[in-house]
Structure 1
Amino acid sequence: MILFFGTKTGKPSTKILQNTTCPHCSQIKTLTVTVRPNLFHLFWIPLFKIGTSRYAECSHCKRVYYNKEFSTEMLEEISN
């Protein structure tokens, strides 16, 4: 019997951070956070989530911030 299993990313969800300033260019309301779940699948059917990846991008300076680079201000607004 052959089993096809592996991981793939799910559908991304985005959120604009309204009250957060970009640490690089100091512009307000330019950060957009994207959250992508990583899913385990068996026979191309997603079974459960094994993690998530998050990153924020500034629409003004195009700087990308990964999860470890998030400021406390960014983390507070993401959790709300």
Structure 2
Amino acid sequence: MILFFGTRPGKTVITQLPDTACPYCNQIGTLQVSKTSSYFHLFWIKLFKITTDTIAECSHCKRVYYENEFTEAMRKELP
């Protein structure tokens, strides 16, 4: 019997943070948050979520912030 199993990423959800300033360049409204989840699958059917990765990127200075680097203002504005 052959089993096809593994992990694969789900859809990426992108959210703008219009009222939050970038901690590095202090530009307001330039942060964009991307949230991607990885799922365990069996025969290409998603069974359960394994991890969720959340990053924010400033479109002005191109600095990337991982979830553990988020400021309080960034965390408050996330949905």
Shifted more, 67-76 versus 24-33: the winner is 67-76
Superposition TM-score, scaled by structure 2 size:
0.94
Q: Point out 4+ residue stretches in structure 1 off by more than 3 angstroms.
A: none
* Residue number in structure 2 paired with 1:76: 76
- After TM superposition, give the deviation of residue 39 of structure 1 in Å: 0.7
Paired residue type of 2:32: T
Superposition TM-score, scaled by structure 1 size:
0.93
For structure 2, list consecutive stretches of 5 or more residues without a partner in the other structure: none
For structure 1, list consecutive stretches of 5 or more residues without a partner in the other structure: none
The count of residues paired between Structure 1 and Structure 2 equals 79
CA distance, structure 2, for counterparts of residue 2 and residue 16 of structure 1:
43
Paired residue type of 2:60: H
| Residues 45-76 of structure 1: CA deviation (Å, up to 9, x unaligned) | 11121221000000000000011111111011
Percent identical = 57
* Residue number in structure 2 paired with 1:41: 41
Note the aligned Cα RMSD (angstroms): 0.9
Shifted more, 42-51 versus 21-30: the winner is 42-51
- After TM superposition, give the deviation of residue 18 of structure 1 in Å: 1.1
